[in-house]
Structure 1
Amino acid sequence: MDLQLAGDAALVTASSSGLGKASARALAAEGANVVLNGRDEELLAAAVEDVRGDAAADATVLGHAADLTDADAVEALVRRPVDEFGGLDHLVTSAGGPPAKPFLETTDEEWDDAFDLLVKSVVRSVRAAEPHLRAGDGGTIVTIASISVKEAVDDLVLSNSVRAGVVGLEKTLSTELAPDVRANAVLPGTHETARVEELVERGVREGEYDSYEAGLDDWAGEIPVGRIGDPMELGRTVAFLSSPVSSFISGVALPIDGGASASNL
C-alpha cells in the first residue's frame, strides 16, 4: 500500500534507538524526509546512517541532537525540518522511559523528572510544531506512549501514572487542533528493542535462560500471538497513522502488544 507520504516532512523525537528509530525508518521508507533526534550525538549519527540505508531514493534523512527537557533546544529542533524541508507535516513524539520503581521508593525529584521528560517534552514539541502542522494539507501528531496507560505494570509507577497524562493530552489535541491536525497515540507492549535484548542477554549470562531464543520465548509467554513485537511493526503503524490513508482516525490510543493486555477498552 502506498501511504502517500513521499515528499512530506517529519520529525521524530528520541529516535536514535528503539521504537522512535523504527518509526523514523518506516516514514523514510515511505519517502518522507525525516529529522531524527537524540541526546547522544554518536548514537544519533549511527541511527541516521541506518535509517538512510532503508529510505526511499528521494527521501532525505538528517539528525539533530537536542535535550527534550530544554525548551530552547526543542524550539530549535522543530525549526530544523522547517528550515531544511520547507515545512513540517508530521510530528512523532517519543521519550525514554523513567526508572522502574515502586511508589514508596520514588522521590519527588523523580516524579518531576518523569513529568518533564514524558509530558512536557510533548507539550513543548507540539507547541512549537503547531503552526507548521496547520500550514500543510493535513498535519499529524503520533505520540509513542506505553501499554502501561491501559494496564498498570508492577514497579512502574512513574510510567503507569505519567504516561496517562500524555494520552490525555493527545486526546485533547485531537479536538483542539481539528480539523487541520490529527492526533493519535500508540501504546506499545513488549518489542525486541535494544533494552529488551540487553535484559535477555543478561539473563543468558546469569543462567536464567539457556539461550537468547529461550529468553525471547519466556518474555513472550503471556502474549497471545506467541512472540514479542518487531519494532518495525510499531514503526509501520506510526507511518500509517501519519498518512492520508488513515485520514478518518484521530483521538485514538492504539495498543500494539500482541493482545497481551487484559483491558476491555
Structure 2
Amino acid sequence: MSSPGCALLLGATGVLGTAITRYLSTKKGMERMILVGRDQKKLRDLAATVSGEALTVETVHLPSTLEAYSTLGARIPAGTVDLLVIPMGFHQPSPLGTAPKRLETILFANLMGPLVAIHQIAPGMSRGSVVLFGDAMANRPMAGFSAYYAAKAALQSLVSSLSSELAPNIRINALLPGIMNIKPVAPPDASKRWSGKVPLGYLGGNEPLLLSLDLLLENNYLTGSLLTVDGGASTAPV
C-alpha cells in the first residue's frame, strides 16, 4: 500500500492509541494526521511530539457521547481521510446489577463510538482502509464482563458486515489483541501471573501489535479479516 495522505485516529491519547500515532508518524510517511480524543491537553501534548516539517497534525477534542460523534462527518470534510484507525475502548467489569449508565459507557466506547465514526467518515472516503480493535477472547469471555465482551463480539461481526459494503475501494479489518503488556509500568506479579496463560510463555507488548497493524495496512488483498495477536491464549486449553 502506498502511504496514505491522511490518517484519522479515534482514541489517540490512550496507551495503544499513542503508540499507533507515533508509529504512523515515523514509519508510514504520513502527510497529515487528525487525532481525536477526550482529553484536550493530552491531545495537544501528543500532537507536539509527532508533528514536523513533513507532517501536519490536527487535534479534535470530542466527548464520548453519541451527539458528539454524530458531528464527525461535518467536522472532517469528505475526501480528507485515507486511513481510519479506531483503537478506542476499555476493558471494564459489568457484573449483574451494573447501573444502566455504566453499561451505556462501556457499550459506547467499545461498539457504538466506532460504529458511528465509521458511518460518519467512510462515506467521504474515496479509497483507503479502516482498522478496528476487537478482543481475542471475545468468544471465550470472562464472567462479570458481559457488556465489554458483547460489544467486542458485535464489533468483530461489524467487520464482516461492512467489508462488502465498503468494497472495492475501502478495506476494513480488525486486530484482536489478547492479554498484552502495553502499559508503561506493569506490576511484575501481574505480568508473571498472566504470562502463564499464554502458550508462548510471555506477554507481548506494543511491537507485535504494530507489526500486525503494518500487515493490515500493507496487504491490499486483506479485507473482512480478524487478525488475532495473543500468543496463542485464545486457543489454549481451558
Corresponding position of 1:63: 59
Corresponding position of 2:222: 249
Among 122, 140, 156, the residue aligned to 1:167 = 156
Task: State the Cα distance separating 1:78 from its structure 2 match.
Answer: 7.3
Which string of whole-angstrom CA distances, capped at 9 and with x for unpartnered residues, describes residues 42-75 of structure 1? 22223323444xx8x6233332211242434553
- Sort the Cα spacing of 1:27 and 1:236 in 2 relative to 1 into closer, same or farther, 3 A: farther
* 1:74–1:124 contact (8 Å) kept in structure 2: yes
Separation in 2, partners of 1:120, 1:221: 33
**Amino acid paired to 1:197:** V
Separation in 1, partners of 2:42, 2:62: 13
Separation in 1, partners of 2:75, 2:68: 11
**Amino acid paired to 1:152:** P
- RMSD between aligned residues: 2.6
Separation in 2, partners of 1:193, 1:36: 20
Which string of whole-angstrom CA distances, capped at 9 and with x for unpartnered residues, describes residues 122-174 of structure 1? 222111112222x2xx3211101222323212332211112111111121110
- Sort the Cα spacing of 1:75 and 1:146 in 2 relative to 1 into closer, same or farther, 3 A: same
Q: May I ask how many residue pairs the two structures share in their alignment?
A: 235
- Sort the Cα spacing of 1:65 and 1:129 in 2 relative to 1 into closer, same or farther, 3 A: same
**Amino acid paired to 2:43:** L
Which string of whole-angstrom CA distances, capped at 9 and with x for unpartnered residues, describes residues 63-111 of structure 1? 221124243455347744x49xx61101111323153133x23333333
Separation in 2, partners of 1:124, 1:159: 17
Among 100, 103, 119, the residue aligned to 2:93 = 100
**Amino acid paired to 1:171:** S
Corresponding position of 1:18: 15
1:227 equivalenced with 2:202 (yes/no): yes
**Length-normalised TM-score, structure 2:** 0.85
**Length-normalised TM-score, structure 1:** 0.77
1:89 equivalenced with 2:82 (yes/no): yes
**Amino acid paired to 1:8:** G
Among 180, 196, 202, the residue aligned to 1:191 = 180
Separation in 2, partners of 1:63, 1:237: 26
Corresponding position of 1:205: none
* 2:179–2:203 contact (8 Å) kept in structure 1: yes
- Sort the Cα spacing of 1:120 and 1:227 in 2 relative to 1 into closer, same or farther, 3 A: same
Task: State the Cα distance separating 1:36 from its structure 2 match.
Answer: 1.7
Corresponding position of 1:158: 147
Separation in 1, partners of 2:208, 2:234: 17
* 1:11–1:78 contact (8 Å) kept in structure 2: no
* 1:28–1:61 contact (8 Å) kept in structure 2: no
Task: State the Cα distance separating 1:16 from its structure 2 match.
Answer: 0.2
Separation in 1, partners of 2:103, 2:7: 30
Q: Tell me the secondary structure at the aligned position of residue 130 of structure 2.
A: strand
Which residues of structure 2 form unaligned runs of 5+?
A: none
Task: State the Cα distance separating 1:215 from its structure 2 match.
Answer: 4.1
- Sort the Cα spacing of 1:36 and 1:239 in 2 relative to 1 into closer, same or farther, 3 A: farther
Higher helix share: 1
- Which segment is superposed worse, 70-79 or 147-156? 70-79
Separation in 2, partners of 1:21, 1:236: 15
**Amino acid paired to 1:22:** A
Q: Tell me the secondary structure at the aligned position of residue 247 of structure 1.
A: coil
